[in-house]
Amino acid sequence: MRSAQPLPGYLAVAAFAVLCATAVLLWRLPPWVPAVYLALSAVTAVVYAVDKRAARARTHRVSENTLHVLALAGGWPGAVVAQQGLRHKTAKRSFRRVFWLTVVANVLVFAALATPAAALVAG
């Protein structure tokens, strides 16, 4: 099975970091919002590492649903880094498809709530 290329994932994380910085600096997004993304990313990366270790040891694994929920909740940047750094969950096409759907959903909600377009809709 062919594994995913790392560049698109890293570019998505970099683009999201720019979006977050723009939202904080220009659109008055509270700084704690990117901090929550950073914390969720760290937790998600640790969970990926735990799952990778369990996969190698052939012991109880973290469910894919748990990994997807963490990504959807905002931990997807950490998931991207962990996937590439650990070479974990990069080859299973069905997992990647759902993962990227969670990323798109999360970013769309973030953009809807944190950009000037949100202010236009709200008010």
- Does residue 47 or residue 27 have the better pLDDT? 47
105 domain residue, yes or no:
yes
Q: How confident is the model at residue 105 (pLDDT cuts 50, 70, 90)?
A: very high
Number of domains in the chain: 1
1 domain residue, yes or no:
no
CA dist 36 and 86 (Å) reads: 23
Check pLDDT > 90 for residue 103.
yes
What's the pLDDT at 120? 58
Interval 44-54: pLDDT, tens: 999 999 999 99
Alpha helices in the chain (DSSP H): 6-25, 32-57, 64-70, 76-86, 93-114, 116-122
Name the nearest CA neighbour of 45 among 11, 12, 88: 88
Residue numbers of the domain that contains 12: 6-122
Check pLDDT > 80 for residue 4.
no
Q: Residue 2 is which amino acid?
A: R
Q: How confident is the model at residue 3 (pLDDT cuts 50, 70, 90)?
A: low
38 domain residue, yes or no:
yes
Tell me the pLDDT of the chain averaged across its residues: 92
Lookup: tokens for 97: 């498809």
12 domain residue, yes or no:
yes
Lowest mean pLDDT among 2-11, 33-42, 71-80, 88-97: 2-11
pTM of the model as a whole? 0.89
Burial of 16 (0-12, 13-18, 19+ CB in 10 A): buried
Interval 64-92: pLDDT, tens: 999 999 999 999 999 999 999 999 999 99
